[in-house]
Amino acid sequence: MTLTTSPYALRPMTVEDLPQIAEIEGESFPSSWPSAAYKRELQRNNLARYVVATRRDMPPRARSGLGRVVDGLKGKLGRAPEPAPEYVAGFIGVWFMVDETHIVTVAVRASERRRGVGELLLLAAFDLSREKGLPALTLECRVSNVEAQALYEKYGFQRLGIRKRYYTDNNEDALIMTTPSTENPPYAARIDELRRLHRERWGVESAGLGRSGSDAELPTGKGDA
């Protein structure tokens, strides 16, 4: 079977993406992290990784105000401006803990939902965890978010318990979910098969997940994966 090419690509989140991240968070969560928190994570936290899914068939977005100022200065110096930010369809963030990868946030732009983007980002989290040699993934999910729970259970996440009144915006409980060990051959084969099925349906994405950052303490988690 010849697989099609997905319009989506994966890459590390950058500071230039933050205006779009704020848009997506506003569509997805009752409360959001400030852009300054993401900027601190991207620049200082070596224990965190943030990945965006960009859509290659959409026009680039306008540069931020600071970006336009920098471009103006470069123009005066005879240097080429930075390229406009790519259109961001969704993003995921993980923290690398002692023996597991913790998914701290994941969100997809409202107009891009039900196109396999959330699943693509979840597969990226599995890749990052394997890259780090960590045997399991864990997350918290609102008890009311049954659609997300169905996706996580499809990928083998199991319900471990409840964190009472975890979400401060409405005091909603959080469901704790974790995977079996990804070093378990049958479970690893299950993830590989789900990846194959995803690519058959949605196409093969391009990925360049890279790495950046330096050591820093973890901030308080958003906990809205």
**pLDDT tens readout for residues 48-61:** 999 999 998 887 77
Q: Which of 152, 155, 166, 167 is flagged as catalytic?
A: 152
- CA nearest 87: which of 11, 163, 35? 11
Region of 81 on the Ramachandran plot (φ > 0 left; ψ -120 to 50 alpha; else beta): beta
Residue 152 bears catalytic tag: yes
Residue 114 — left, alpha, or beta (φ > 0 → left; ψ -120 to 50 → alpha)?
Answer: left
Q: List, for residues 125-181, the tens digit of each pLDDT value.
A: 999 999 999 999 999 999 999 999 999 999 999 999 999 999 988 999 999 999 999
Half-sphere exposure of 178 (CA within 13 A, CB side): 14
Confirm whether 140 is a catalytic residue: yes
Which of these is catalytic: 86, 140, 167, 205?
140
Domain over 5-202 is classified CATH 3.90.550.10? no
Instruction: Give this prediction's pTM.
Output: 0.84
